[in-house]
Amino acid sequence: MVASIVQNPLKLGTTLHLTPTILAPISRPLLFFSNPLQLRAVRRASVSMSYDRQLAAAKKAASLAARLCQKVQKALLQSDVQSKFDRTPVTVADYGSQALVSFILEKELPSMSFSLVAEEDSEDLRKEEAQGTLKRITDLVNETLASDGMTDVSPLSEEDVLVAIDNGKSEGGPRGQHWVLDPIDGTKGFLRGDQYAIALALLDEGKVVLGVLACPNLPLASIASRNQHISKDDVGCLFYAQVGTGTYMQSLDGSRETKVHVCATETPEEASFFESFEAEHSMHDLSSSIAKKLGVKAPPVRIDSQAKYGALSRGDGAIYLRFPHKGYREKIWDHAAGYIVVAEAGGVATDAAGNPLDFSRGRYLDLDTGIIVANQKLMPALLKAVQESLKEKASSL
């Protein structure tokens, strides 16, 4: 029975559900426990740890960031796009989204020590020639905050924006809590006017404990059959999951909440699969060979970003295959939110050898070859097909 919620004195910002018998002792620091029975009771209680406050803040931050991105996508100018050192694009919306999420999380959760692992940093924005861009980002952030009626915050200065972006430089790791953010996942899709996602997750002791995926261009209805006419009111999804409580989807305006589940098919022939839109991000020939071995009949569904994890979590497709080209290192922000959204909806995400994804090693996911996602029942056949196709590819080189 959950009788009350109090702050965990050891981990600020985390709540424990406690029964009345152990309520009194925990209001003092744990160090003062003299009775081992009380200590055991508190340890047991921590099993039902709740991240409700963090989830509410994450949903607010991702929804507002989505609003900022939608505004930019509507009026996309060439000058809004820069190129990073690795030649991938970054837009005023990537920076604005990161500044906004960073600012809101810190404001909404003042009692938590704040650590954020995020994709972007302010180095390029601090250059002389980026002054106009920085002003535009700052205006966008302030306009978005004002549009939400956040009258209790004074407008951010350009320096505030740079600092909020650079708060994302944390290295993450296996200890403590760390937010993980991709301010726009699928920037190329964003620039094309296609799918993208604002992906935000929380790690606690190296495990993903909550995730939010805002997908402004994803229809609320299944994308499995693509021919239906979709009105603009029926586009824009927010997926969210907290460990142990399932995955939910709602409209980006906050209405129409539903619990979602992955596709339950046990028959690989009936399964359809998702992969990256960009062949540069995932080897399409390899996924096609795997699909052939499984007997999959449907053509691949190619969409950008972690919108793939969102669509998979509600059963629009049954499998997600991702095989980057040799040498590419996956980043945790490209998968953390999607991973828990799918896992809480009943799916499994592993590397190509079937190992669980490990988010505790810092900014990178060190894994074997690729990432595969499916329901539990399809996993054994999928793993077998993946291993065979990988062997064939290796021997043909």
Ligand X SMILES: Nc1ncnc2c1ncn2[C@@H]1O[C@H](COP(=O)(O)OS(=O)(=O)O)[C@@H](OP(=O)(O)O)[C@H]1O
Q: Which stretch binds ligand X (CB under 6 A): 8-16, 98-106, 283-291, 326-334?
A: 326-334
Any binding-site annotation on 166?
Answer: no
- Residue from 80, 182, 204, 344 that binds ligand X (CB under 6 A)? 182
Strands 273-275 and 319-322: parallel
> Which of 187, 204, 247, 350 is the catalytic position?
187
The number of residues that bind Mg ion (CB under 5 A) is 7
The number of residues that bind ligand X (CB under 6 A) is 22
Any binding-site annotation on 184?
Answer: yes
- Residue from 98, 250, 305, 350 that binds ligand X (CB under 6 A)? 305
Q: Where in 76-105 is the site for ligand X (CB under 6 A)?
A: 88
Q: Is 284 in the site for ligand X (CB under 6 A)?
A: no
Q: How far is the CB of 281 from ligand X (least distance, A)?
A: 3
Q: How many degrees, rounded to 5, is the angle at CA 72 between CA 66 and CA 73?
A: 85
Is 187 catalytic? The answer is: yes
Size of the chain, expressed as the number of residues it contains: 397
SS3 of residue 255 by DSSP: coil
Is residue 391 exposed (0-12), middle (13-18) or buried (19+ Cβ within 10 Å)? Answer: exposed
Any binding-site annotation on 124?
Answer: no
Is 94 catalytic? The answer is: yes
Q: Which stretch binds ligand X (CB under 6 A): 211-219, 242-250, 280-288, 384-392?
A: 280-288
Q: Is 328 in the site for ligand X (CB under 6 A)?
A: yes
Q: Is 351 in the site for Mg ion (CB under 5 A)?
A: no
Q: Where in 286-345 is the site for Mg ion (CB under 5 A)?
A: 334
Q: How far apart are the first and last CA of the chain?
A: 60
Q: Which stretch binds ligand X (CB under 6 A): 12-20, 31-39, 239-247, 324-332?
A: 324-332
SS3 of residue 326 by DSSP: coil
Return phi, psi of residue 371, to 5°. -130, 135
Helix axis angle, 158-166 relative to 92-108, nearest 10°? 80
Tokens of 373: 């996602």
- Where are the strands (E) in 57-115, listed by range? 81-83, 89-91
Which DSSP helix (H) or strand (E) runs through 103? helix 92-108
Task: Provide CB contacts within 8 A for 103, sequence distance 6+.
Answer: 141, 145, 156, 160, 164
By annotation, the residues acting in catalysis are 94, 187
Residues in contact with Mg ion by CB under 5 A are 88, 119, 182, 184-185, 187, 334
Residues in contact with ligand X by CB under 6 A are 88, 119, 182, 184-189, 276-278, 280-282, 304-305, 324-325, 328, 331, 334
